[in-house]
Amino acid sequence: MRTAAPPTDPRQRLVAGSDHLPPAETTAVQIDAAPRDAASMVALVVFAAYVAISLAGVGGRLLTVTYPAACLLVGLLTYVRSRTSYLAFVWWLWLLTPFVRRVFDLHYGFHPTSPLLLGPLLASGVAVLTVIRRFRMLRSSAYVPFLVAGAALAYAFLIGLIRQSVAAATYDLLTWIAPLVFGMHLALEWRRFPVTRKAITSNVLWGLLLTSAYAVAQFIDPPLWDRVWVVSAEMASVGAPMPFLIRVFSTLNAPGPFSVMLVFALLIGLASPQRWRFVALALGLVALVLTKGRSAWGAFLLGAVVMQLRQPLRSLPRQWIALLAVLMLAAPVITQPRVMSVLTRRAATLRNVEQDYSFKNRVTFTRFAISNMSANPAGWGLGYLGGASKLLRGSKAGFALDSGPLEIYSVMGWLGGTLFMLALAAIILPIARSRRVRFEPVTSAAVSVVVALIFASFFGNIFNSVSGFFFWSAVGLATAGRTYAGATDLLQRYAGHSELLARALPRRPTAA
């Protein structure tokens, strides 16, 4: 007895069985035909209304419990009903939750380890369902490095349980694994890449517009909740929370993560098809200047150069015109005396780096980290650095090193750190070298973001928490774009020969 024959269309066989393209439950490139539905939209509106009412003073401290739980439930609902709504929900959670926390703290008092910050982590962690559903795809060489990175985190977690505390190690694990899992979700769902690309570019531009406008307003006159939070959290890196003196952080929790978000959004926004993008990009460029982050400035310039080099020659004039338009729109604001003084004073420190306070701190922290790594090759484990260290030490501000690689080796030790760094190299090098994605604008922009943030990682940890979300999102988007480009390339290559090859491929009977 014969059963249904395997697919005879060589295009389907190539997409399903190629070593470059990971196996999956389906064999054709898929596009989500119904990206949104009524249930998801209702859930999002109800969630937003509930948070707004709670911040107005209704419900008291109950929000500390209901907010993380609601983030998880709405994340699950949107994940099941509409992936584009899920992407948008997670994106806005990472952008707005620190703002929600500050307004809430203004009403009910500052808490250094606010449970509200669990919301984005739990919603992003819902993406682990994709890893479970697409488990067979993890055998592909494109995804094995993600598992290696996860193994390094598991090692650091075990060390943290022994050397730190259960609470600190567990929370730190969430800040590392949730962004990584979300990036894997984007990479594994490569068949939805056209829909994902549209959803991400749209939300990125709106997020850039909102956060940049808030940053400009924050620079001119910081709102009360921002000023109170800077003083309560002892955020010395922000400077004085006064008009025209503050280092802006917008709706996020610090200038560093905000500048990482701006680098991500500016480069992705340059490749977006929306015609109104220039307004958001101009505001974003102004906000990037106001963060006073020199490493972020350098990262953006590097990313912009890489992005231009990955474009075909015929597209370069259009890209240059786009950059020129953004600069012209931003120039009236940047050239204002108050803003220009920020730029010139910060840039002037590069002339005499040895006298720069930030440089001296980095040298001190680097020496401390290297001596610690030499004395403790096994690593200190998760919970030792970052926001999780507040759970361990009971302080208002977490202890951190101003270098991603140093933090990795300090926390994960020589073994775990080397595994994690090798995994990063195995993930990044293929997408950076792939020729198939060279001319696809958004994928090229995502690759440029990855390169830019790797540069920025030497001046701060961008692999976990808020910054990690943007880094791993760029990695996932670039990986998905590369795989999708490979699939469509194979389909186009054999499109004209499908009938001839289909007749040449025998139908093999199988046992009933």
For 67, residues 6+ apart whose C-beta sits below 8 A from its C-beta are 51, 54, 100, 115, 116, 119
Residue 225: CB atoms within 10 Å: 17
Q: DSSP string of 217-237?
A: HHHHS--HHHHHHHHHTT-GG
Crossing angle between the packed helical segments 38-55 and 63-81, to the nearest 10 degrees: 170
Q: What is the C-alpha radius of gyration for the chain, rounded to an integer number of angstroms?
A: 24
Q: Give the burial string for 7-23 (b: 16+ CB within 10 Å, else e).
A: bebbbbbbbbeeebbbb
Q: Could you tell me if 263 and 204 are in contact, meaning their C-beta atoms sit under 8 angstroms apart?
A: no
pLDDT tens, per residue, the chain with 512 residues = 444 444 444 444 444 434 444 444 344 445 444 455 888 999 999 999 999 999 988 877 899 999 999 999 999 999 999 999 999 999 999 999 999 999 999 988 888 888 999 999 999 999 999 999 999 999 888 899 999 999 999 999 999 999 988 988 999 999 999 999 999 999 999 999 999 999 999 999 999 999 999 999 999 999 999 999 999 888 888 888 999 889 999 999 999 999 999 999 999 999 888 888 999 999 999 999 999 888 999 999 999 988 888 776 666 666 677 777 787 888 788 778 777 777 777 766 666 655 565 666 666 767 777 777 777 888 889 988 877 777 766 555 566 777 888 889 989 999 999 999 999 999 999 888 876 555 688 999 999 999 999 999 998 899 999 999 999 999 999 999 988 888 887 777 776 555 544 554 445 444 33
SS3 303: helix
Select from 39, 123, 47, 125 the least CA-distant residue to 82. Answer: 39
Alpha-carbon span 294 to 351, nearest angstrom: 13
Q: How many residues does the chain have?
A: 512
Per DSSP, 1 falls in state -
Whole-model pTM: value is 0.87
